[in-house]
Structure 1
Amino acid sequence: MEISPFELERWFAEVEADADVMLAESGVRPLSVDRFDTDPGTLGYVVPTSGDPEFRAAVGAHHDRDASETIFTCGTQEANLLAMLSVLDDHAVVVTPTYGSFVGLGDALGDVTRVPLSEPDWTLDSEAVGEALCPDTDLVVVVNPNNPTGRYHDETTIRALYERCADNGTYLLCDEVYRLLAEEPIPPVASFGRYGVSTGGVSKAFGLAGLRFGWLCGPRAVVAAAENWKDYTTIAPPAFGQHIAEQAFERRAEILAENREHTAENRAVVEAFLETHGLGWSAPDCGVNGFLRVPEGFAGGESFCRSLLAEESVVLAPGEAFGRPQWVRIGFGLPGAELDEGLARVGAFLDRHR
């Protein structure tokens, strides 16, 4: 199997460590470890290797699934990998722009048809996705809320998409890692029926990326196949990650309320900044990501990002990593002081280049 480089992660690997401000971070600012009991007892394997049964039952119930239809993973990234390995044999339809692993994995495992969101509002046309289905389509992939645009597709749209998939005998995989940042989250796709698969975790909405803890919920056949693949990847979820993630999940109402307030405040700061500088963006309605239009005078997103990095030591994510070279991704979930510093430097950069 050949797989293409993950452009976004290669960009971060190149520039993130030495930059002063990371303004492309895609999660909520990390929570302090002192909010949790950090003693898991021992640091052996999690047994059973799918994860603690009671915790799996709790996460599963949140998706209208049971423990046997839930598997814990090392981050949502592994959950997505296992889902695609378990389901994709021939053909996938991927809604774009999207998180880069879906296109990279899809191309490595089968044939991929890309269906773009409709600009300028980045809306999802379920009929357009349905028209891309064929008899051998194994999987449709959507990220909701979307990364990189921050657009949250409504329940009517996602249910219509699910029905098209179910009528075709095709699984709908929805990465819902930002879903719980919505004031009124729509039901998870795993709750829709036989062909619904949801992935998520605590990295983004919970502000606990360092735990590397995620999950996959869906039909028992998909989860069983994922368990088989997981024996060849990480075997079990991290013991420390599960220990803290369970506490966070139990206290999710408190934690998510804090994080929603934080992201709403930061989004307003970014929106005011963009208005001051006459810049357009994707007007995200959920999550912590937005797509900024590249200002005039730059060849594209990478040109803009490299110039900004060289002059101001600020990292944004080039749109080329998402197949949209006239855009760059900004993340606004970071601590308020860091956001202010980053935006001030971007503002100084823009003033010099007008």
Structure 2
Amino acid sequence: MDIEPFTLERWFAAHEHEADIMLAESGIRSLPASRFDLDPGNLGYVIPTNGEPKLRAEVGARYGRTADEVLFTCGAQEANFLVFLSLLNDDDHAVVVTPTYQSLHSVPESLADVTCVDLEPPEWTLDPDAVAKAIRPDTSLIVVNNPNNPTGRYHSQETIEALYEIAADHGAYLLCDEVYRLLAEDPIPPVASMGQYGISTTSLTKAYGLAGLRFGWLAGPPEIINAAWNWKDYTTISPSPLSQHIAQQALDTENEREILTTNRTLAHKNRQTTRAFLDRHGLDWYDPVGVNGFVTVPDGFATGMSFCERVVREESVVLAPGDAFGYPNRFRIGFGLPSEALTAGLSRLDTFFDRHS
């Protein structure tokens, strides 16, 4: 298994720690630990190691699935990784919709043959016919994330159902990374609820503001869950009992409603602020769902990387170069942070643009 370096994570490792303001964060602002009861009891393994059965049943009900069709993981990253290990090898083929978070194509590429199907800018539309044309007899998996990272495009229910039918018609699975789904005002049904070939992965990171929990799950058919659980014995074994304890509180109906309502309001407000900033400077994006926008690089800069390097060096503000997503003419901006911090970051960018205009 040979895998490409994770360009975005290496960029963050080089710059995030010492910079003053992070304008490339891909999730909503973090909640304080003091909001929750932090005593899970004894710090042993969660037994059974796939997660507490009652909580898995509650999560499974969101997808029309049982507790045995849910596996708790260390974030969505592990959930996706376990699915790829369970479904892909040298004899398999996968179709991946890009641009996307790098692990959603780099991990499959390390395990199997992969065909990428690009979204169509500037609105980043997804053509199901293009996915259908990429299918081969050995295709076992189609991969999409919705809403999309980095573009913020939220593909319609009709489009995702078309992808599901394409997968099902060929006996392949559709994996949808849905970490931003609950930041939408009117979320479409999750892919795992669409039928036996649907797999959903998500976490409490992006929409809930609980990145530090490293708590996520995958929901899908039992054969995939069992295979992924088998691989999980070799990765993290069980969820963290502290993470699961806090997750159970966050997913309580009343708490969850309050968290998501507050976070959607923040995302809406910050999106308007960011849109006004981009308009002032003549920069374009597709109006996103979630808390990421994929923005055109300003005139005078050859690539997103050269632009972002100058910004972090001169203003101590971190943006994400579009080069990390295969689009060197773009950069990603994250606007999920507290509004005061967003305003401060955009003010520094105003100063940067004034200096380089």
TM range (shorter): over 0.9
3-state DSSP of counterpart to 2:351 = helix
Structure 1 residue 280, shift from structure 2 partner: 0.8
Tell me the amino acid that sits aligned with residue 65 of structure 2.
Answer: R
The residue number in structure 1 matching 2:297 is 294
Question: How far is 1:118 from its partner?
Answer: 1.0
Cα distance in 2, alignment partners of residues 322 and 74 from structure 1: 24
Give the CA deviation at 1:183.
1.1
2:238 aligned with 1:229, yes or no? no
Alignment partner, residue 68 of structure 1: 68
Kindly state the Cα deviation for residue 282 of structure 1 after the two structures are TM-superposed.
2.1
Query: 1:104 deviation in Å?
Result: 1.0
* Aligned-partner residue type, residue 51 of structure 1: G
Q: Work out whether 1:55 is the aligned partner of 2:52.
A: no
1:274 to 272, 278, 296: 278
Aligned equivalents of 1:277, 1:324: Cα separation in 2: 20
State how far apart, in whole Å, the 2-side matches of 1:96 and 1:253 are. Answer: 32
Between the aligned partners of 2:281 and 2:298, the Cα distance in structure 1 is 10
Which residue is equivalent to 2:189? 187
**TM-score normalised by L of structure 1:** 0.99
Residue 345 (structure 1) aligned to one of 311, 335, 348: 348
Residue in 1 that maps onto 2:206: 204
Deviation at 1:124, TM superposition (A): 1.0
1:329 counterpart SS class: strand
Count the aligned residue pairs: 353
Alignment of 1:260 onto 2:264: yes
Q: Distance in 1 between matches of 2:350 and 2:143?
A: 36
Q: 1:166 aligns with which of 168, 191, 210?
A: 168
Structure 1 stretches of 4+ with a deviation exceeding 3 A read: none
In the TM superposition, 1:5-84 aligns within 5 A as 5-84=5-84
In structure 2, list runs of 5 or more residues that go unmatched.
Answer: none
TM-score (norm. length: structure 2): 0.98
Structure 1 residue 42, shift from structure 2 partner = 1.3
Equivalent residue number for residue 113 of structure 1: 115
Structure 2 distance, partners of 1:281, 1:352, is 23
1:335 has 2:344 as partner: no
Deviations along 1:82-108, whole A, 9 cap, x unmatched?
011111231111101000001110110
- Taking the aligned partners of 2:82 and 2:301, their CA distance within structure 1 comes to 39
Q: What is the aligned-residue RMSD (CA, Å)?
A: 0.7
AA at the equivalent of 2:16: E
CA distance in 1, matches of 2:58, 2:159: 27
Separation (CA, whole Å) in 2 of partners of 1:178 and 1:279: 24
Aligned AA (2:87): V
Letter in 2 for 1:29: R
Alpha-carbon shift at residue 334 of structure 1 (Å): 0.3
Q: Percent identity?
A: 62
